[in-house]
Amino acid sequence: DMFVKGIALNPNQRIDEKQAKEIARMYGYRVRFEQEQLEDKETSVGESKLEKIEKYFEQLYITKKNELVTRPPVVTVMGHVDHGKTTLLDKIRKTRIAEQEVGGITQSIGAYQVEYAGKKITFIDTPGHELFTEMRAKGVQVTDIVVLVVAADDGVMPQTIEAYNHAKAANVPVIVAINKIDKPNANVEATKQQLVTKLNLIPEDWGGDTIVVPISARTGQGIDQLLEMILLLAEIKEIKCYPKGPARAAIIESKVDRALGPVANAIVKDGILNVGDYIVAGPVYCKVRALIDDKGRRIKSAEPSQPVMIVGFEELPDIRYTIYAVESLELAQEIAQEVKEKLEKEKPSKRKISLEELLKIMEESEKKELNIVLKADTVGSLNAVQNAVLSLKSSVQEIKVNVVHAGVGTINTGDVMLASASDGMVIGFRVKVDSQARKVAESEGVEIRTYEIIYDLIDNLKRALEGMLQPEY
Ligand code: GDP
């Protein structure tokens, strides 16, 4: 374990895949290891069937550039607990969806779509950053825009900062909704001031470029402006899709429905998803038996950014896989089988590359950053550790140490997901790691280090950085 030892490796020394990944991670890289051709007789062409499909969709964005069209933005609402996320989502849904549209008892399908000024917006209706970061960590960024809710009577709080850090790490643009302006003790100006001092977000009317909209999720005041701003930002960001052909869709949740069996709630990214399509999601495949929209209606097809419940699976699809529609049931089955076999084969690899090769790749990079999620037992110790970590910047040149998030308390899944999303690691000071977080860290390949003594923490970190910069010859 290089980090703990802070050892300097010889540049010609062979290191294993795990070590290579660790080093790459510290430099903000992900290393992908090519399958050795000999090992893989089945796909002698070198490309699996799934990879071909993935490539098809990537290619669309290049070769069919002129045929791309704008699609509705997909929005996630985040913010501190009790600042009004749920109330806002409920209010938007109620006021923007006409009563007669709603067919009977509507159950949530994880997201809903509203119309404003003739344009559609999709809202993920689970507020919070867990799902957001889980989606991002698994490689599919479903969210186009984050609405960061900040209560005007409470201001910027720890989870506001955490939520913002998640959005920032995922490179998703943020609109701030200052909520509860109907309350007598609401202070919009003070809240804006805190956006500046605590988040470094400067509101537009203060000369910055952060869109800030004062709202009341309770009375509905300001919500039209918020929707308008979402559409404006979507236009600026040119959120596009390829609207024709077979669909790909991102799963936002999957569950077993008592009447319908295993279902996936998904948002279509490109193409059109139809009833009767053959789809595959990782090791699971099926023929689409039914599609149900956010108003509980059975529909024949779903278009980009449309949330939809997909019925027909025999097994529960995992949220980490993208759904692809393919031309036949046989092909869907073959791809699922291919993924299954790959999963079974996925044992720790013994393939190695030299550190020299790795350093060379990293040298070509402009940015050398070590992203850290920092957790400590108290606010006082957190400040102390954070200052010490940041002061490393000057002593270890060339590498920028970034504290992506700093918080008090046990290291949890959210911390690990954030570290994974930013290709970083988690450092804990006098805190424990919860068991779920440990499992996720294992599967995401995220390094967690905990320390009891601040000197050890800093010394280890410093030696690791220096060791990697100046390999001994
Ligand atoms: P969440 O934890 O962020 O989802 O917050 P909730 O939506 O559950 O809201 C927390 C509390 O704040 C509830 O009692 C809401 O009724 C109240 N609340 C939310 N928005 C507003 C608002 O705009 N004005 C007022 N006065 N209360 C609000």
- Cα separation, 404 vs 422, whole angstroms: 8
Choose the residue to mutate in 86, 87, 157, 215 for probing ligand 1, maximizing ligand atoms within 8 Å of C-beta: 87
**Ligand 1 atom 17: residue of nearest CA:** 84
Spatial CA neighbour of 225 closest among 175, 151, 164, 163: 175
Asked if the model's pLDDT at residue 134 lies above 90, the reply is no
- Cβ 80 vs Cβ 215: under 8 Å: no
Least confident of 250-259, 297-306, 334-343, 438-447: 438-447
Task: Write out pLDDT tens, residues 137-169.
Answer: 665 678 999 999 999 999 999 889 989 988 888
Question: Which of 129-133, 227-231, 419-423, 467-471 has the weakest average pLDDT?
Answer: 467-471
Burial zone of 256 (CB within 10 Å; 0-12 exposed, 13-18 middle, 19+ buried): exposed
pLDDT of residue 78: 93
Q: How confident is the model at residue 267 (pLDDT cuts 50, 70, 90)?
A: very high
Residue 87 Cα, ligand 1 centroid: separation in angstroms? Answer: 6
When mean pLDDT is compared across 181-185, 244-248, 340-344, 393-397, the lowest value belongs to 393-397
Which residue reads 């050795």 in tokens? 36
| Ligand 1 touching residue 221 (CB < 6 A) | no
pLDDT at 108 (0 to 100): 82
Q: Give the atom of ligand 1 at the shortest distance from the alpha carbon of 217.
A: 23
Q: What is the pLDDT of residue 398?
A: 67
Q: What is the DSSP string of 42-109?
A: TTTTS--HHHHHHHHHHHHHHHTGGG-EE---EEEEEESTTSSHHHHHHHHHHHHS-GGGS-SSPPP-
Q: How confident is the model at residue 106 (pLDDT cuts 50, 70, 90)?
A: low
Nearest CA to ligand 1 atom 11: 82
Q: Mean pLDDT, to the nearest integer, of 351-357?
A: 40
Q: Residue 231 pLDDT more than 60?
A: yes
- Residue 43 in marked binding region: no
Ligand 1 centre and the CA of 85: distance in Å? 7
Ligand 1 within 6 A of CB of 87: yes
Is 91 touching ligand 1 by the criterion CB < 6 Å? no
- Percent of the chain's residues with pLDDT above 90: 52
Question: pLDDT at residue 446 above 60?
Answer: yes
**Given this model, what pLDDT does residue 445 score?**
79
pLDDT at 245 over 80: yes
Q: Which residue is closest in CA terms to ligand 1's atom 19?
A: 84
User: In terms of pTM, does the model score above 0.90?
Assistant: no
Q: Is 40 in the pocket of ligand 1 (CB under 6 A)?
A: no
Contact 130, 413 (CB under 8 A): yes
Mean pLDDT lowest for which of 99-103, 201-205, 401-405? 99-103
Average pLDDT score over the chain: 83
CA atoms of 418 and 66, how far apart (whole Å)? 35
Q: How far is the CA of 315 from the centre of ligand 1 (A)?
A: 38
Q: What is the pLDDT of residues 12-66, one digit of tens each?
A: 555 666 666 666 666 656 665 544 434 444 444 567 899 999 999 989 999 999 9
The pLDDT value given to residue 26: 63
Q: Is the pLDDT of residue 427 over 60?
A: yes
Average pLDDT over residues 448-463: 85
Q: What is the pLDDT of residue 39?
A: 41
Contact 291, 311 (CB under 8 A): yes
Task: Give residue 180 CA to ligand 1 midpoint distance, Å.
Answer: 7
Q: Please compute the mean of the pLDDT values over residues 234-256 and round it to a whole number.
A: 93
Mean pLDDT for the stretch of residues 406-412 = 91
Q: How far does residue 423's CA lie from ligand 1's centre (Å)?
A: 34
What pLDDT does residue 17 have? Answer: 63
Structure tokens at 298: 């059975």
State yes or no: ipTM above 0.95: yes
Mean pLDDT, rounded, for 206-227: 97
Backbone angles phi, psi at 127, to 5 degrees: -75, 160
pLDDT mean over 90-116: 75
Most confidently modeled range among 1-15, 101-115, 172-186, 402-416: 172-186
- Lowest-confidence segment of 71-75, 170-174, 355-359, 434-438 by average pLDDT: 355-359
Q: Which atom of ligand 1 approaches the CA of 87 most closely?
A: 7
What's the confidence (pLDDT) of residue 125? 86
Higher pLDDT, 350 or 327: 327
Q: Is the pLDDT of residue 280 over 90?
A: yes
Centroid of ligand 1 to alpha carbon of 251 (angstroms):
28
Give, in order, the Cα–Cα distances in Å from 381 to each of 197, 371, 464: 21, 19, 22
User: Does 86 contact ligand 1 (Cβ within 6 A)?
Assistant: yes
> Which of 198, 248, 189, 237 lies closest to 60 in space, CA to CA?
248
Determine the 3-state secondary structure of 390 from DSSP.
helix
- Mean pLDDT over 454-468 rounds to 76
